[in-house]
Structure 1
Amino acid sequence: MTEGNFVDYVRVFLTSGNGGKGSVHLHREKYITKGGPDGGDGGRGGHVILRGNKNLWTLVTYKFKKHFKATHGEHGAKSRSTGADGKDVYLDVPLGTIVKDPETEEVIYEVTKDGEEIIILKGGLGGRGNWHFKSPTNQTPRYAQPGMEGDEKDFIFELKVLADVGLVGFPNAGKSTLLSVITSAKPKIADYEFTTLKPNLGIVQYRDFQSFVMADIPGIIEGAAEGKGLGHYFLRHIERNSTLLFLIPADSKDIGKEYEILLDELRRYNPELLDKERLIAISKSDMLDEELIAEMKVELDKDLEGVPYMFISSVAQLGITELKDKLWNMLNV
């Protein structure tokens, strides 16, 4: 999937169907000239239904088509025949999609399971036919109910990527390279900031045919919590990751300070993010010798205050197996 096809925020306009009219009809046959009322009910209007689909990763379907309308219910007929229901409209969305009210920004629905169906707009009820209104004092009612009108509303669909592990780091920290090595994903990789403009997902194959999902999130910059740079475009995706993997290059001027800046951006965006499991991976460690690593460990033990860390190199395949083991244990303890 190209970055242009990854869409995680859309506004759609939805309309459910009107209910059909109830029928006003009096039973007539060759030898029955004054039969009673037998007008049937109208059919209900079509619903607009949200449906989770595990095979989708983007909301690109709704980038170009934003209006969806269910059909109306058919009117009732003689012989108490009920009109057909309107045709429902199904909107397939990726898992992790939330539905918001555009005016209040309130989250109304959340889709997290494959095949899960949520009626986002109900169709109008069909009107009752005149046979319902027969009584001892009114044997031939000549009226029926009109169908109820459907609903019309616009919604915001917002996708928060569902992944077990989210990669967090500054631009050009090596996140895309790590994802390409540890999974079968093929993200764009280049030596300049903001190579990754949209989240990339990859499946990490583990032992005994087990696996977990890792997401490469666009790089953080200072001020991201206020929307600077890519801002909220990446931060909302981190919310759904159960474990956060902080990636900091070994040639960073101050690894501890860099980690604190990243942590502070998450804290300012949503303090609950700090409750997630954390692991720090120091990338590009093939540039270090054993003596330098030993010196760095002394400093890191003081600066990171007990947060686990490890040295890796995606290019040299250094520590990659150990990283998989550590992440698996964190996800399954």
Structure 2
Amino acid sequence: MKFLDQAKVYIRSGDGGAGSVSFRREKFIEFGGPDGGDGGRGGDVWLEAVNGLNTLIDYRYQQHFKAKTGVHGMGRNMTGAKGADVTLKVPAGTQVFEEDNETLICDLTVVGQRFLLAKGGNGGFGNQHFKTSTNQAPRRANPGLPGEELNVWLRLKLIADAGLVGLPNAGKSTFLAAVTAAKPKIADYPFTTLHPGLGVARIDAREFVIADIPGLIEGAHEGVGIGDRFLGHVERTRVLLHLVSAQEENPGKAYKTVRGELDAYGHGLTDKVEILALCQVDTLDADARKKKVASLKRAAGRAPMLLSAVTGEGVEAVQRALMAVIAEARAQITAPVETRWDK
């Protein structure tokens, strides 16, 4: 499936139906009086987070959404039916911004959450409302009110428990493929991963979701390489797994480069719990391994875990370290509070 994490859409709620001009006509009732019903309310435009989606690709091909107009009022004081609603289905983690792409409207983080983006116009009054002592047969009715229209940006930030960060070719996709059923592209050249990927890992009968994003290089926050636009997909994670390749000449420098980009991006990424691992250690002999570990320890201020997704060395230990942080974070989550959104 193609990946798209940002889309601009035009939405319009339905206009209200017009009120009716009608008079009661029955046998033996000479002056029946007005009985024109009100118009129905226009359809609403809703946003709903649903399961099974992790991209906004559907909104590349359709960008205009309009709810139906309310049905016009009818005689016998019959109110028109409400216009049909339109629901935009998006992945959990989708944010909606105004046309300036900066002002946040809503943030759907849980499957099943709904938000009313545009309310349908009210229906017009039928002529029954305009009867007075001096005008017993009014021949006027109100048109329905117009619906709301606006352009909005949809921006997806994937929901995952753990995020993989590191330089290109650090082994992130290899690790993701080793611990999940995901099948990311793996090759021996930089930027093999061009879009974020998700996988579900399982350890000790417990599961957690891992997000893999394209590698960062120095200057990514200024647009160098793929840039830092995909860092938003690890903003919501509970823990970062920072992978440094054992094939780096200076692992300490590689670590500082990525940390510098995380700091430049902001949004609290450097405040997240970070598990550091030196990966691809199967390519090193004992002496080289010691030197690389020492370099990384000096830069990070702590010893890294050792990992090889190819041989399996350290894979379970890293998974358990991630799961420990995630389990602690999950235990601190309180029950969700009902909001006005889905009333």
Deviation of the 1:302 alpha carbon: 3.2
Deviation of the 1:140 alpha carbon: 3.3
Pairs within 5 Å for 1:28-107: 28-103=25-100, 105-107=102-104
Q: Secondary structure at the match of 1:222?
A: coil
**Pair 1:158 & 2:150 matched:** no
The size of the alignment, in residue pairs, is 328
**Pair 1:304 & 2:329 matched:** no
Q: Secondary structure at the match of 1:10?
A: strand
For 1:25 and 1:261, the matched residues in 2 are separated by 75
Gaps of 5+ in 1: none
Deviation of the 1:192 alpha carbon: 0.7
Query: Equivalent of 1:230, from 223, 226, 229?
Result: 226
For 2:53 and 2:109, the matched residues in 1 are separated by 12
Q: Is 1:45–1:85's contact at 8 Å kept on the other side of the alignment?
A: yes
For 1:109 and 1:115, the matched residues in 2 are separated by 14
Q: Give me the TM-score of the superposition, normalised by structure 1.
A: 0.93
For 2:267 and 2:77, the matched residues in 1 are separated by 60
For 2:174 and 2:4, the matched residues in 1 are separated by 23
For 2:4 and 2:101, the matched residues in 1 are separated by 22
Q: Which residue of 2 aligns with 1:211?
A: 207
For 1:314 and 1:283, the matched residues in 2 are separated by 8
Pairs within 5 Å for 1:191-202: 191-202=188-199
Q: Which residue of 2 aligns with 1:149?
A: 146
Tell me: CA distance 1:291–1:228, structure 2 relative to 1, closer, same or farther (3 Å): closer
For 2:236 and 2:64, the matched residues in 1 are separated by 29
Structure 1: which amino acid aligns with 2:221? A
**Pair 1:326 & 2:321 matched:** yes
Q: Is 1:225–1:235's contact at 8 Å kept on the other side of the alignment?
A: no
Q: Deviations over 1:40-78 (max 9, x none)?
A: 110111111111112111111111111111111111011
Structure 1: which amino acid aligns with 2:277? A
**Pair 1:186 & 2:183 matched:** yes
Q: Which residue of 2 aligns with 1:268?
A: 264
Q: Which residue of 2 aligns with 1:314?
A: 309
CA RMSD in angstroms, aligned pairs only: 1.7
Structure 1: which amino acid aligns with 2:73? G
Identity among equivalent pairs (%):
46
For 1:304 and 1:271, the matched residues in 2 are separated by 21
Deviation of the 1:134 alpha carbon: 3.2
Q: Deviations over 1:161-198 (max 9, x none)?
A: 11111100111111111100011100111111111100
Q: Secondary structure at the match of 1:52?
A: strand
Q: Give me the TM-score of the superposition, normalised by structure 2.
A: 0.91
Q: Is 2:250–2:292's contact at 8 Å kept on the other side of the alignment?
A: no
For 2:117 and 2:124, the matched residues in 1 are separated by 22
Detail structure 1 runs of 4+ shifted over 6 Å in the superposition.
Answer: none
Structure 1: which amino acid aligns with 2:258? L
Deviation of the 1:137 alpha carbon: 4.7
**Pair 1:240 & 2:236 matched:** yes
Stretch deviating more after TM superposition (38-47 or 136-145): 136-145
Q: Secondary structure at the match of 1:328?
A: helix
Gaps of 5+ in 2: 329-343
Q: Is 2:235–2:267's contact at 8 Å kept on the other side of the alignment?
A: no
